[in-house]
Amino acid sequence: MEYEDLIDNILKEKKENKADRFNPPEVDTQQIGQKTVVFLDKISKYINRPVNHISKFLMHELTAPGQIDEGGKVTLGGRFSRKLVNDKIQLYIKEFVICKQCGSPDTHMDKIDKNYFVKCLGCGAEYPVGRIK
């Protein structure tokens, strides 16, 4: 086997392993009256995205006002099921975490000026992602 093929194979395996291992934890929620508290600390660390950014996405998607608290929580105005919140988290991951080029979850997000860019550590792709208004 050619040396370069060998390297290719190793890189490929690495990427596949990483994708296999990618198993984001489910997000916990808690209903308090007409509000829903969403615990984002674990998922935030797992997918390497700020609680702030995930929270804004949830507020936008659920058209709910929200308050971001210390310790990785966001309190949304309105009652939302745990399943719905987790569906939105999946959407977030698809939009802001998974590389659109190669499908790797091993990406970084940087904020340059007011725009966010996703950079893939797998294939090196870099592209802007939508702003959450």
Q: How far apart are CA 79 and CA 75, in angstroms?
A: 10
112: β partners: 115
| Separation of CA 95 from chain center | 8
Residue 122 binds Zn ion (CB under 5 A): yes
Residue 84 binds Zn ion (CB under 5 A): no
Strand 35-39 to 28-32 pairing: antiparallel
Residue 19 binds Zn ion (CB under 5 A): no
The SS3 call for residue 41 is helix
Sign for the CA dihedral angle at 112, 109, 61, 73 comes to: negative
Identity of the residue, 61 or 126, whose beta carbon is nearer to Zn ion in the bound complex: 126
Binding to Zn ion, residues 89-118 (CB under 5 A): 99, 101-102, 104
Residue 120 binds Zn ion (CB under 5 A): yes
Identity of the residue, 18 or 79, whose beta carbon is nearer to Zn ion in the bound complex: 18
Identity of the residue, 20 or 113, whose beta carbon is nearer to Zn ion in the bound complex: 20
**Hey, how many other C-beta atoms are within 10 angstroms of the C-beta on 122?**
18
Q: Which of 84, 125, 129, 132 binds Zn ion (CB under 5 A)?
A: 125
Binding site for Zn ion (CB under 5 A): 99, 101-102, 104, 120, 122-123, 125
